[in-house]
Chains A and B, each alone.
Chain A
Amino acid sequence: MTESGVGGPLVAAIAQALLVALAAPLLVGLVRTVKARLVGRRGPDPRQPYADLVKLLRKDPVVSTTTSWVFRFTPFVLVACMLVASTVVPVLVTRPALSFAGGIVLLMYLFMLGTFFLALAGLDSGSAFGGMGSSREVAVAALAEPTVMLAVFALALRTGTTNLGGVAERLGGEPAMAAHPGHLLAFLAFFIVMLAETGRLPVDNPATHLELTMIHEAMILEYSGPYLALIEWANAMKLFLFMTLLINLFVPWWIPAEAAGAGLFLGLLALAGKLVVLASALAVLETAMAKLRLFRVPELLAGSFALALLSVASVVLLK
C-alpha cells in the first residue's frame, strides 16, 4: 500500500476474498466427486457443497446450554480468519491486496487463531467428543504449523522475501531456481502438512464420524444450522488456500502480476487447471491410502518437520 491510495487495494482485497469464498466449496465437491468415481460410484454433483451450505443456513441452530459465548463466537472468528487469509495468499495475482500485511508468518498465525477458537469451542460443549477432538487438533496443529513456516522460510531465504507474493514472483520469473534440493524437501514437507492441516487422509478422514479416529469432526460435533455452515465454509476455504499456496509457491507459472485484461483471464484459467490437477491427485491419494493410526500421525508429522528443517538447512548451506 504505497501510492495508489486505499480504494484500489480495498476493491482487490474484497474481490479476491470473494473469489476464494465462492470457489472453495466447489473444490471440496470436486475432490468428493473424483473420489466417488475412483471407487466406481457416480457420486454427488461437484456443486453439492453449495446446496449443503444453503440448507444448513436455513436451519434453526441447536446450541447446548452448557456452552458460553465462545461457542457462538467461534464460527465467525473462523470465517473472518479465512477471509483475511485469502487476501494474504497470492491466488489470482502475485501481489494480493494484503501481501504487505505480514507474509507467511501472519498467514500461519491466522490459521492458528482459527484453530485456537475452534479447539475452545470443542471444549465448551462439555462432551468428551469435543474435548478429544480439540486435544488432538491442537497437538496436530502444533507440529504442522511450524512445518509449513519452515518450508516457506526455505523458499523465502532463496528469494529474499517472506512476503508470499514476492516469493511467487521471483520463482515464477526464474524457473531454474526450483532446481534445488531445498525446494524439493520443502515441497514434500508442505504437501504432507497440507493433508494434516486440512484434515485429509491419512491424518484425518473428512467423511468419518467414528469417535476413535476422528479429529476435526469430533470438535465440531455440537454445531448445527448456520453455525455449522460457517464452519464447513471456513474449512473449505482453508483447503482452497492451502492448495493454492502449494500451487503458487511451487508451480508459480502463469500468474499475472496485475489484475487486468487478458493476463487475468489466463491466470484464472491456469489456477483452475492447476487446482483441478491437484484436487484429482488428492482424491487419488485419499482413495489409495488407508488412514494412519492416530498415534502414528505424530511420526508422520515429525518426519515432515524434519524434512522442512533439512530444506532450510540445505538452503542456508548450499548457497
Chain B
Amino acid sequence: MSALAYALTALGGLGAAGLGLAGWLGHAWSVELLWLVPLAGLALRMDPLAGFFLFLVGATSVPASIYAIGYMRGARRGLGAYAVFLLGMAVVPLAANVPTFLIAWELMALASYALVLHDREDAAAVRAAWIYAVMTHAGLACLLAGMLLMFAWTGSLVFADWRAASATLDAPARNVVFVLLALGFASKAGMIPLHVWLPAAHPAAPSHVSALMSGVMIKLGVMGLLRAGMEWLGVGPPWWGVALLLAGALSALAGVLYAAVEGDLKRLLAFSSIDNVGIILIAAGAGMVFHAAGLETLAVFALAAGLYHTVNHAAFKALLFLGAGAVARGAGTRDLEAMGGLIKRMPWTAAAFLVGALAIAALPPLNGFVSEWLTFQALLQNGLIPRPELNLVFVLALAGLALTGGLAVACFVRAFGIAFLALPRSEGATNAHEAGPAMRAGMGLLVIACVGLALLPTVLLPRLGAAAARLLGDPAPALRHDLLTIAVSGDFATLSMPVVAGALTLGLALLPLLLRLARAPRAVRWSETWGCGRLLQTARMEYTAIAFASPLRRIFDFLYRAEKRLEVEAHPESRFFVRRMAYRNAPRALAEEWLYAPLLIALRAGADRVRAIQSGSANLYLIYVLAALLVLLVLA
C-alpha cells in the first residue's frame, strides 16, 4: 500500500521533471484560476528559471521516492505530508503572484515540519522541529512584510509587474524590500547566521526527506534570492551582490568547518549543505555584482555556475543522505564512532557513498568539480570591474572558496573513511546488512546523475545560461563550447571533462598492464595489519572520528572554541589504573550563543514589559480598540 503510494509519487516526480524540462527549454505557459485563491487568484507561470527549479524538484523526488519504498518498509505515517511537501515544492517555482507563492511556500514548510517531527518519541527531533517552525515562520514574516510593502508601493500582487514598477521606487524603499526578502529567503537557504534550524531539522527527518530538504528545498530559497535581487527589484546597487558574496563565503567556510568535526553522519551532511549553499551564493552574489556593474555576459556566466552547483548539489547531497539512511537502517546508528568496516557488509551502499563523497569534495572527474571550476573562473573575471573595493571582495571570496575546497576533502575523507573502512566499532556495524533493492535503485539513479552531470557540461551550461539570462533580459553567456571543451572569456580558461575522465580511465587501465610487463607478482599474501608486536587487532586501536578531526580542531580553534572536558575516574589504590574515562570536545555553536541567545533574552524582557498592558479587563481592551481605530483614521 505505502509502496504503491511512493511509486505514485515517483511517477508524479517524473511528470514534474518532464514538465519542468520542457519549460526550462523554452516552453512557456501560464494558468490563472481567479476563484481558487483569495485576493488575486491562483496564478502559475512557466519560464526557463521556473522550469529549471521544477525539473530539480521532480528529478530529485524520483530516486527519493523509489528509495522510500524500501526505506519506509510499508509504514504509512508521513505519506500524506510527503506528498504535500512535494506538491508545495513543485508549485513554489511556478507561483506568479503573492498569494499563490505564500500558500505554496507555507505548504512546503508545514509539510516538512510534520516530516521533521516523524519520530515524536525523540526529544531531539521535537526540539529540532520547534526550532525549524520558529525560524521558518520568522522567515515567512520577513517575506510577507517585504511582499506587502511591494504591493503597497507598486499596487500589484503579480510578480511580473514588479520589475517595471520597481524602477520608479526610490533607493531606500528598494533596499528595505531587498533586505526583508533576502532575510526570508536566506533563512530558508540556510545561510549563516540564519542556518540554526538546518543542522537540527534535516537529520531528524526520514532520510529520503532529508535528501529532498537538503537537495531541493533550500535551493528554493536561493531561487527566491535570485528572483528578488535581480528580477522583482530590477538592477540593484552593488552592495546587494557583495552582501551575498561575503555571506556565501562565510557560510561555505563555516559550514565545511563544522561538518569536518561533526560526529553524527546526517548532521555532518546537513552542515555540508550550508557549505554548498554558500558556494551557490558566492556564484549568485558574483552574478549580481556583475549585473550591477553592467557586465551582463559575465553575470549570466556566474549565475549559470551557481545553477550548475545547485543541480550538482541536489544530486550528490541526495545521494549522500540516502547512503546515510541506508547506514542508519543497516547498522542502526548515525554516530560515526559506532561505524567502521561497513564497506564489507554493505558494498553497494559504500560504493555509492564513495561516489557522492568524491563528487561533493569537488574531485575530478565528477560533477562537483565542474561547478566549482566554473565558480572559480567567474570570480577570476572580476578584473573587468574597475572598482578596487569590489575587486577585493572577489579576492576574499576566491580565498574562501579555495579553502572550502581543501577542507571539504578533509571532511569527506573522514566521513567515508571512518564510517566504511577498517574494522567495525560496534555490534550494530559488525552485523550491518546491505540496503534492499529499492534503496539501492534510488542511490544508483543518483550515481548515474553525478556521472552524467560531470561529463555533459557542454550540453548543460548553455541551457543554464539561458535560464539565468531570463533574470536579466537575455544577454549571451561569456563562453564558447564545442562538444568536448568549454572556454571562458576567450582563452582565459578552458575545461574539458570528457578528456579528463578519459585520461584518468586510460591511466587506470594501462597501469595493471604495465605491472604485468614489469613482471610484478600477481598474487597477494594476506596477513594482519602490523601493530608493533601486539597479538590481536581490535577496533579500539583504530583512529576515531574525533581524533581524525583533531588537527583541524587545533588549527581552527578560534572558530570552534570547543569546551574540552576530560573526566578520569582512577582506581582508589593508584591513579595509574583508570577505571573509566570520558572525553568531550564539542565545538560551541557561536551563532546560537552570540546572536540568538541575546535575542531571546531581549525578546523575553520585551514581552515582560508588554505584559503590563494585559490587565484582563474588558473595558481596557475596548479602549485599546478605540485608540487603535482613532490612530488609524488619523494616519489614513
Binding site for B on A (CB under 8 A): 1, 13, 54, 57-70, 72, 76-77, 79-81, 83-84, 87, 98, 100-103, 105-106, 109-110, 112-113, 115-116, 119-120, 122-128, 130-132, 134-136, 138-139, 141-146, 149-150, 153, 156-157, 160-163, 166, 221-222, 225-226, 229-230, 295, 298, 302, 305, 309, 312-313, 316-317, 319
Whether A66 lies near B380 (C-beta < 8 A) is: no
Nearest-Cβ distance from residue B350 to partner chain A, whole angstroms: 8
Inter-chain contacts of A106 with B (CB < 8 A): 364, 369, 373, 495, 500
Nearest-Cβ distance from residue A220 to partner chain B, whole angstroms: 12
Offer 22 A-B interface pairs, CB within 8 angstroms, sorted by A: A62-B524, A63-B525, A68-B421, A72-B524, A76-B512, A84-B500, A100-B485, A101-B495, A112-B406, A112-B409, A116-B361, A123-B418, A126-B529, A127-B530, A130-B543, A131-B542, A135-B547, A145-B402, A146-B399, A161-B493, A162-B380, A309-B399
Nearest-Cβ distance from residue B534 to partner chain A, whole angstroms: 10
Q: Which residue of B lies closest to A295 (CB)?
A: B554
B192 CB–A CB distance under 8 Å: no
Known A-B contacts: A63-B525, A120-B416, A134-B548. Give 4 more (CB < 8 A): A100-B496, A106-B495, A157-B380, A225-B520
Nearest-Cβ distance from residue B564 to partner chain A, whole angstroms: 15
Inter-chain contacts of A317 with B (CB < 8 A): 388, 391-392
| Interface core residue of A65, A77, A113, A295 (most chain B CB under 10 Å) | A113
B221 CB–A CB distance under 8 Å: no
Nearest-Cβ distance from residue B117 to partner chain A, whole angstroms: 36
Inter-chain contacts of A128 with B (CB < 8 A): 541-543
Inter-chain contacts of A57 with B (CB < 8 A): 515, 518-520
| Interface core residue of B392, B409, B485 (most chain A CB under 10 Å) | B409
**CA A131 to CA B363, docked complex, whole Å:** 21
**CA A144 to CA B409, docked complex, whole Å:** 12
B380, B494, B519: the one within 8 Å of A163 (CB):
B494
Please tell me which stretch of B35-43, B81-89, B94-102, B502-510 contacts chain A, meaning at least 4 of its Cβ atoms lie within 8 angstroms of it.
Answer: B502-510
**CA A44 to CA B523, docked complex, whole Å:** 31
**CA A304 to CA B398, docked complex, whole Å:** 16
B563 CB–A CB distance under 8 Å: no
Whether A62 lies near B496 (C-beta < 8 A) is: no
**CA A68 to CA B493, docked complex, whole Å:** 39
Whether A126 lies near B423 (C-beta < 8 A) is: yes
Whether A162 lies near B492 (C-beta < 8 A) is: yes
- Which residues of B, 32-55, contact A by the 8 Å Cβ criterion? none
A67, A76, A309: the one within 8 Å of B511 (CB):
A76
Known contacts A146-B403, A150-B399; is A79 also within 8 Å of B363 by CB? no
B423, B500, B529, B555: the one within 8 Å of A102 (CB):
B500
Known contacts A131-B542, A149-B402; is A120 also within 8 Å of B373 by CB? no
**CA A83 to CA B509, docked complex, whole Å:** 12
Which 5 A-B pairs rank lowest in CB-CB distance, beginning with the nearest? A131-B543, A80-B507, A146-B402, A139-B551, A126-B422
**CA A68 to CA B416, docked complex, whole Å:** 13
**CA A87 to CA B496, docked complex, whole Å:** 13
Nearest-Cβ distance from residue B397 to partner chain A, whole angstroms: 11
Interface of B is mostly: helix
Whether B410 lies near A138 (C-beta < 8 A) is: yes
Known contacts A80-B504, A113-B363; is A64 also within 8 Å of B496 by CB? no
Inter-chain contacts of A156 with B (CB < 8 A): 380
Known contacts A57-B520, A68-B343, A126-B542; is A84 also within 8 Å of B410 by CB? no
Known contacts A100-B485, A101-B503; is A163 also within 8 Å of B493 by CB? yes
Whether A63 lies near B543 (C-beta < 8 A) is: no
Known contacts A58-B521, A62-B527; is A113 also within 8 Å of B382 by CB? no
B409, B417, B493, B524: the one within 8 Å of A141 (CB):
B409
Whether A102 lies near B406 (C-beta < 8 A) is: no
Whether A131 lies near B423 (C-beta < 8 A) is: no
Q: Mark B404-430, 1 if CB is under 8 A from A, else 0.
A: 011101101110111011110000000
- Which residues of B, 345-384, contact A by the 8 Å Cβ criterion? 354, 358, 361-364, 369, 372-373, 376-377, 380, 382-383
Nearest-Cβ distance from residue A98 to partner chain B, whole angstroms: 7
Q: Which residue of B lies closest to A123 (CB)?
A: B417
B567 CB–A CB distance under 8 Å: no
Nearest-Cβ distance from residue A281 to partner chain B, whole angstroms: 27
**CA A54 to CA B518, docked complex, whole Å:** 8
Known contacts A113-B363, A125-B529, A317-B388; is A120 also within 8 Å of B421 by CB? yes
B170 CB–A CB distance under 8 Å: no
Nearest-Cβ distance from residue B414 to partner chain A, whole angstroms: 8
**CA A247 to CA B515, docked complex, whole Å:** 32
**CA A80 to CA B361, docked complex, whole Å:** 19
**CA A156 to CA B377, docked complex, whole Å:** 11
B484 CB–A CB distance under 8 Å: yes
Nearest-Cβ distance from residue B392 to partner chain A, whole angstroms: 6
**CA A64 to CA B524, docked complex, whole Å:** 10
**CA A142 to CA B553, docked complex, whole Å:** 13
B121 CB–A CB distance under 8 Å: no
B463 CB–A CB distance under 8 Å: no
Whether B484 lies near A146 (C-beta < 8 A) is: no
Whether B422 lies near A222 (C-beta < 8 A) is: no
| Interface core residue of A59, A141, A312 (most chain B CB under 10 Å) | A312
Inter-chain contacts of A58 with B (CB < 8 A): 519-521
**CA A142 to CA B515, docked complex, whole Å:** 32
Nearest-Cβ distance from residue B451 to partner chain A, whole angstroms: 15
Known contacts A105-B373, A128-B542; is A61 also within 8 Å of B423 by CB? no
A63, A138, A166: the one within 8 Å of B413 (CB):
A138
**CA A163 to CA B405, docked complex, whole Å:** 20
Inter-chain contacts of A225 with B (CB < 8 A): 520-521
B422, B485, B507: the one within 8 Å of A123 (CB):
B422
Known contacts A79-B507, A128-B543, A309-B399; is A66 also within 8 Å of B409 by CB? no
**CA A161 to CA B488, docked complex, whole Å:** 10
B626 CB–A CB distance under 8 Å: no
B431 CB–A CB distance under 8 Å: no
Known contacts A64-B529, A126-B423; is A226 also within 8 Å of B521 by CB? yes
Q: Which residue of A lies closest to B492 (CB)?
A: A161
Inter-chain contacts of B145 with A (CB < 8 A): none
Whether B484 lies near A226 (C-beta < 8 A) is: no
Inter-chain contacts of A150 with B (CB < 8 A): 398-399, 402
Whether A160 lies near B492 (C-beta < 8 A) is: yes
Whether B542 lies near A64 (C-beta < 8 A) is: no
Q: Which residue of B lies closest to A127 (CB)?
A: B529
**CA A319 to CA B521, docked complex, whole Å:** 58
B539 CB–A CB distance under 8 Å: yes
A109, A110, A123: the one within 8 Å of B421 (CB):
A123
Inter-chain contacts of B508 with A (CB < 8 A): 76-77, 80
Q: Which residue of A lies closest to B525 (CB)?
A: A62
Nearest-Cβ distance from residue B395 to partner chain A, whole angstroms: 5
A122, A138, A142, A221: the one within 8 Å of B530 (CB):
A221
B417, B493, B541, B552: the one within 8 Å of A162 (CB):
B493
B537 CB–A CB distance under 8 Å: yes
Q: Mark B7-47, 1 if CB is under 8 A from A, else 0.
A: 00000000000000000000000000000000000000000
B549 CB–A CB distance under 8 Å: yes
Inter-chain contacts of B526 with A (CB < 8 A): 62-65
Inter-chain contacts of B520 with A (CB < 8 A): 57-58, 225-226, 229
Inter-chain contacts of B493 with A (CB < 8 A): 102-103, 161-163
Inter-chain contacts of A109 with B (CB < 8 A): 362-364, 369, 372, 405
**CA A132 to CA B528, docked complex, whole Å:** 19
Whether A79 lies near B511 (C-beta < 8 A) is: yes
Whether B530 lies near A222 (C-beta < 8 A) is: yes
Q: Mark B574-603, 1 if CB is under 8 A from A, else 0.
A: 000000000000000000000000000000
**CA A43 to CA B373, docked complex, whole Å:** 45
Inter-chain contacts of B369 with A (CB < 8 A): 106, 109
Known contacts A61-B524, A142-B409, A166-B491; is A125 also within 8 Å of B515 by CB? no
Q: Which residue of B lies closest to A215 (CB)?
A: B551
B499 CB–A CB distance under 8 Å: yes
